[in-house]
Amino acid sequence: MSTTTRFPNELITKYGLAGPRYTSYPTALQFHESFDDEAYRRNINSSNNDLIPRPLSLYVHLPFCQQLCYYCACNKKVTRNTQLAEEYLYRLDKEIEMQGDLFDNDRQVIQLHFGGGTPTYYDDAQLKHIVDQLSRNFLFSRSSSREFSIEIDPRTVDEERIANLGDIGFNRVSMGIQDFDPAVQKAVNRIQDEAATLRLIDAARQSGFNSVSVDLIYGLPLQTPQSFERTIDSVLSVRPDRLSVYNYAHLPHLFRAQRMIKQDDVPKPEVRLRLLDSTIRKLVEAGYVYIGMDHFALPDDELALAREDGTLQRNFQGYSTCRQTDLVGMGVSAIGKVGNSFVQNLKDIRAWESSLDDNKLPVWRGLQLNREDCIRREVISAIMCQGQVLFEKFEEKFDIDFCDHFALELESLKPLEIDGLVEIQEQRIDVTATGLLLLRAIGMKFDEYLIKDMHGKSYSKVI
Amino acid sequence: MMSSDSQQKPYLADRQQVACSQCVLSNLCLPRNLDESDTEQFEHLVNKSHPIQPGEHIFRAGDKFQSISAVRAGCFKSYIIDKNGEEQVLGFYLPGEIIGFDAIHEQTHKANVVALDTSSVCGLSFDSVSEMARQLPLLQEELFRVMSLQISELAANAADLSADERIARLLYSLSSRFASRGYSSKEFNLSMSRRDIASNLRLATETVSRVLARFQSAGIISVNRKKVAILDLDKLRELARRDAPSLSGE
């Protein structure tokens, strides 16, 4: 993507409405409790019976953190009581065993991700234990192209731990930074040493990690475009393979931790625009490819290559290169995707543990996709991942007349076309460079549930 | 005769109007070579079924033999339970194919037959069909032909073929059968699971997937969940025939 000569402020303001991130479609808002563990099992059975069952992607949620970051909207538990964390592990062992039993044992795990909370809250021995338990109950791919990644809080690891994590089997890492500016760090209660963090990124490279990703957040309290630019410059000095630059969504009524952040300190919309503008400009100038949504990658990184050749996917962790897998979510609140269904674990740690103690799968809710869901999911995915929708592909695959089927949606895209976000032709829709900044707004036009219900959901602002 | 059939087989409706001449399978099913008036006569023997749900059985091993069933729609598998209590799949039946011949000689069904899809069948009292066949040589010919087809398929399955050959044979056979039913020979949806296929071909479930994945890498087929697209039919035919007894009929 070439930088637009002028950042489209008005457009971003105009389309900066509430919008889902579409890490799934339908979104988790559509999950419901009548999708139970029986439904989950049925979907697993069906997927096991495919002619060539899909390989697996495993997600493990480790919710514990030592300290509270005020911006956090994740499912987490802040505690110094390591006993709690250990008890969580006993149940996790059990869940891994139970879930492993359900999937045919010739289905290879080609992707693994530890998220949280802070996965590195646990020490290396504990993390190794979890990986071992997973490898006992699932078939790990032995290919070097497998993606085993872990989220790291740099404050909890040193060079030695990084090396150990590599030994355990991880070959990808994402480091939480958010912002190096001391005032911002203080305002969000995340004091993190800049030099130490940069050293760790280097160490990760030395230890053979294939792809080092860094998480930043713009829109944090007390951020200014100048201060954030400094953070970016600093991060660029170690040239991470990927950057995720998330937008801070100030929703204190939804997320308790955020009540510690003063509304007045949160950058106003115009400032956020400038933050976003300068971030994109800097990264693109430094040679990064804008993948879409919140992701940037070096041009020879797999994400960038996948975007080039049209194989880019999107999942709950964001963009991914992994070919079609079924996702097994383990741990509290974890989300899985099997066949045409989603499933989510219980959100409360005690309830999750209790369920496993009763030998029951800790399923909270989920969703069985119908045909319409499947079609729209692919349209939204095409928008998010390929920046184009080729009608013929959908007509062939789903036996529909695209223009007929989506007559209303295409009509609703016309204003976006006038504003230069998309180009609509007879047989295709293309996302423009401007539209790339506003993918959500485009995707929303095909979201059947949003269309049906235009009022009152609290999504974060798009920008 | 009809009503006792309906009693034993609740999925068979009481004497519904059946029009074999208008049936989409008319060029495949038993009365295909009969003239108009003979076909009309034949129609009187046929009971059309209600929709049969996946998992519903139409025959169980040990059932007294009364009728054969022609598949109208959907797909069935026949299986026995072996001495270890394991399911052994004997074969699959597509629309136009006849189920139940195995029951003739002992007047008892030997195999269980279950629907894999929402399906329907036409039930025919075998006594009535044989009686009519005695008078209509073309019908008798057709009966023998169909029985012979099934027997030679089984014989072929007994041959010592490699996993690749067995799977290629099955795919090729299904492809031909779908083609003759007016579906594409190149792309079709399979109702049977990889387990069913493995059981039928006496292979391990993992082997079936491994071979299919290999065929896919080699560009011979393309697989998506239960859908198969045949990209190189010639290659598939070649794999299916090598050292094997000739494929029957197709």
Please check whether residue A106 touches B, CB under 8 A.
yes
Residue B88 buriedness (CB in 10 A; 0-12 / 13-18 / 19+)? middle
- Grouping H, G, I as helix, E, B as strand and the rest as coil, residue B145 is helix
Distance CA A35, CA B115 (A): 26
pLDDT-based confidence at residue B153 (cuts at 50, 70, 90): confident
Q: Please say if the pLDDT value at position B182 is more than 80.
A: no
Percentage with pLDDT > 70 across chain B: 88
Question: What is the 8-class DSSP label of residue B99?
Answer: E
Nearest to A222 by CA among A170, A182, A269, A273: A182
Q: Please say if the pLDDT value at position B70 is more than 50.
A: yes
Among the partner residues B206, B210, B226, nearest to A50 by beta-carbon distance: B226
Q: Please say if the pLDDT value at position A52 is more than 90.
A: yes
For B186, the token pair is: 């190149």
Give the count of beta carbons closer than 10 Å to the beta carbon of residue A373. 18
Please check whether residue A51 touches B, CB under 8 A.
yes
Contact call for B190 and A50, based on CB within 8 A: no
Contact call for B205 and A52, based on CB within 8 A: no
Contact call for A106 and B205, based on CB within 8 A: yes
Average pLDDT, chain A: 91
pLDDT in tens, A374-401: 999 999 999 999 999 999 999 988 999 9
pLDDT at res. B4: 46
For A272, the token pair is: 């956020």
Please check whether residue A396 touches B, CB under 8 A.
no
pLDDT at res. A18: 54
pLDDT at res. B10: 57
Q: Please say if the pLDDT value at position B187 is more than 90.
A: no
Shortest alpha-carbon distance between residue B174 and chain A (Å): 14
Among the partner residues A51, A106, A339, nearest to B206 by beta-carbon distance: A106
Non-local (6+) Cβ contacts of B67 within 8 A are B5, B9, B12, B47, B100, B123, B124, B125, B126
Contact call for A51 and B194, based on CB within 8 A: yes
The CA–CA distances, whole Å, from B195 to A38, B192, B228 equal: 21, 8, 16
Contact call for A51 and B225, based on CB within 8 A: yes
What φ, ψ does residue B115 adopt, rounded to 5°?
-75, 140
What φ, ψ does residue A170 adopt, rounded to 5°?
-75, 140
Nearest to A337 by CA among A369, A305, A308: A369
* Sign of CA pseudo-dihedral B25, B30, B34, B37: negative
Q: Please say if the pLDDT value at position A3 is more than 60.
A: no
* Higher-scoring residue by pLDDT: B97, B49: B97
From A338, which residue of chain B is nearest by alpha-carbon distance? B225
pLDDT in tens, A399-417: 999 999 999 999 999 999 9
Non-local (6+) Cβ contacts of B16 within 8 A are B47, B48
Residue of B225, B226, B228 to mutate for A, most A C-beta atoms under 10 A:
B225
Percentage with pLDDT > 90 across chain A: 77
pLDDT-based confidence at residue B176 (cuts at 50, 70, 90): confident
pLDDT in tens, A311-349: 898 888 778 887 789 999 999 999 999 999 999 999 999
pLDDT at res. B3: 42
Contacts of B206 in chain A (CB under 8 A): 104, 106
**The residue count for chain A:** 463
What φ, ψ does residue B105 adopt, rounded to 5°?
-70, -30
Model ipTM? 0.84
pLDDT-based confidence at residue B2 (cuts at 50, 70, 90): very low
What φ, ψ does residue A47 adopt, rounded to 5°?
-70, -35
Contacts of A104 in chain B (CB under 8 A): 205-206
Q: Is B162 within 8 Å of B169 (Cβ atoms)?
A: no
pLDDT at res. B242: 52
pLDDT at res. B250: 40
